[in-house]
A and B are shown apart, each in its own frame.
Chain A
Amino acid sequence: MSTMTDPPKADFRLSMLINDTRYRSLTFQVIAAIVIALSIWYLGNNLIQNLRAAGLNISYAFLGDSAGYDINQRLVEYDSQSSHARAALVGLLNTLLVAFLACITATVFGVIAGVLRLSNNWLVSKLMAVYVEIFRNIPVLIWIIIIFTIMTAVLPAPSAFRGENPTSSMLFGSFAFTNRGIYFPRPEFANGLFASTALNWLLVIAVLIGSWFVSGEVEKRATKKQEETGERPATLLPKLAIWLVPFVLLMIIMGLTWDVPELKRFNFSGGLNAGGPLIALWFALSIYTGAFIAENVRAGIQAISKGQTEAAAALGLRQGRIMKLVILPQALRVIIPPLISQYLNITKNSSLAIAVGYADITATLGGITLNQTGRAIECVLLLMLFYLTASLLISTGMNIYNASVKLKER
Chain B
Amino acid sequence: MSDQATNPIAFVAEGTIPPSPPPANETGVVKWLRENLFSGVVNSILTVLSLILIYILLKNTLPWILNGVWNANSLAECREILGDKTGACFAVLTERWPQLIYGFKYPVDAYWRPNLAFVLMLVAIAPVLFFDLPRKMLLFTAVYPFLAFWLIWGGTILVPLVALVGCIAAGGVFQKLGNNNFAAGFFGAIVTALVIWNVGGALIPEGASENAWLTAVPSRDLGGFMLNMMLGVTCVSLSVPLGIALALGRQSNMPLIKWVCVIFIEFIRGVPLITLLFVASVMLAYFFPPDSTVDLFLRVVIMITMFSSAYIAEVIRGGLAALPRGQYEAADSLGLDYPQAMRLIILPQALKISIPGIVNVAVGLFKDTTLVSVISMFDLVGMIRGPILASTEWNGVYWELLGFAALLFFVVCYGISQYSQWLERRLATDHR
Contacts and interface: CB of A to CB of B under 8 A. Distances in A.
A142 B370 contact: yes
Contacts of A119: 43, 46
B278 A383 contact: yes
Interface stretch (A45-53, A73-81, A304-312, A324-332): A45-53
5 contacts: A29-B257, A139-B367, A142-B402, A145-B385, A380-B282
Contacts of B417: 137
A366 interface: yes
Contact of B367 (A33, A36, A138, A149): A138
Contacts of A160: none
B274 A362 contact: yes
Interface stretch (A103-111, A204-212, A234-242, A347-355): A347-355
- For chain A, give the interface size range: 35 or more
Nearest to B384: A145
A380 B274 CA distance: 10
B418 to A, nearest CB: 10
Tell me whether chain B's interface is mostly helix, strand or loop, or mixed: helix
A384 interface: yes
Given A25-B254, A120-B39, A355 B53 contact: no
Nearest to A288: B367
A199 interface: no
A392 interface: yes
Closest 4 CB pairs of A and B: A348-B272, A122-B36, A137-B413, A376-B282
- For chain B, give the interface size range: 35 or more
A122 B398 CA distance: 34
Contact of B275 (A50, A51, A137, A362): A362
Contact of A354 (B47, B374, B385, B399): B374
Interface string B272-316: 111100110011011111100000000000000000000000000
Given A140-B367, A153-B398, A376-B282, 5 more contacts: A49-B289, A124-B46, A134-B410, A141-B371, A142-B402
Interface in B43-64: 43, 46-47, 50-51, 53-54
Contacts of B257: 28-29, 32
A28 B363 contact: no
Interface string B199-218: 00000000000000000000
A139 B272 contact: no
Given A36-B260, A138-B409, A149-B402, A28 B283 contact: no
Nearest to A143: B406
Interface string A16-60: 001000000100110011001000000100110111010000000
A122 B38 CA distance: 10
Nearest to B252: A25
A146 interface: yes
A123 interface: yes
B406 A138 contact: yes
B267 interface: yes
Contact of B47 (A50, A51, A121, A136): A121
Interface string B362-377: 0100011011011000
A252 interface: no
Interface string A181-221: 00000000000000000000000000000000000000000
A388 interface: yes
B270 interface: yes
A123 B385 contact: no
Given A32-B257, A137-B410, A348 B371 contact: no
Contact of A46 (B270, B289, B373, B399): B289
